[in-house]
Amino acid sequence: MMDLKLRIGGKFKQMHEPFISGMTYRNYLPLEEKHNYLHEEVPYEALDKLIVLIVEAFDKQFTVDEFYAGLSSYDLRVKIAEFIAIVKGFPSKSEFDENPEEYLAVDESEENDATPSNDGGEA
């Protein structure tokens, strides 16, 4: 689930995409093979390909140009990072806020703990 607020025609437009498909993930993989969008500057052609994927994931509720023009440069980078995280299967902030216990659950069946052993940690 991803929310996006773009400034289009001088007005802010709120978009919400509750479903990012597995096909979106599939289409992201070849892009990721060529570029690390989160940790390096990428050529604008590569960035354009990622933005096209974002537009498609939002069922073309906006254009590539509206995406670029509707966000500040900072927000552009934040939304790209959020999109990549969601595509890779990490929960969005709103999903986490709705169900934090689902993502923070601890398996209490594990009997191991972090108490140091007396034998120096050797098995």
Non-local (6+) Cβ contacts of 96 within 8 A are: 103
Q: Which residue has the higher pLDDT, 95 or 39?
A: 39
- How many CB atoms sit inside 10 A of residue 44's CB? 10
Separation of first and last alpha carbons in the chain:
45
pLDDT of 80 > 60? The answer is yes
- Structure confidence at residue 108 as a pLDDT band (50, 70, 90): low
Q: pLDDT tens digit string along 28-58?
A: 999 999 999 988 899 999 999 999 999 999 9
* Beta partners for residue 7, in sequence order: 12
In this prediction, residues 3-29 reach a mean pLDDT of: 91
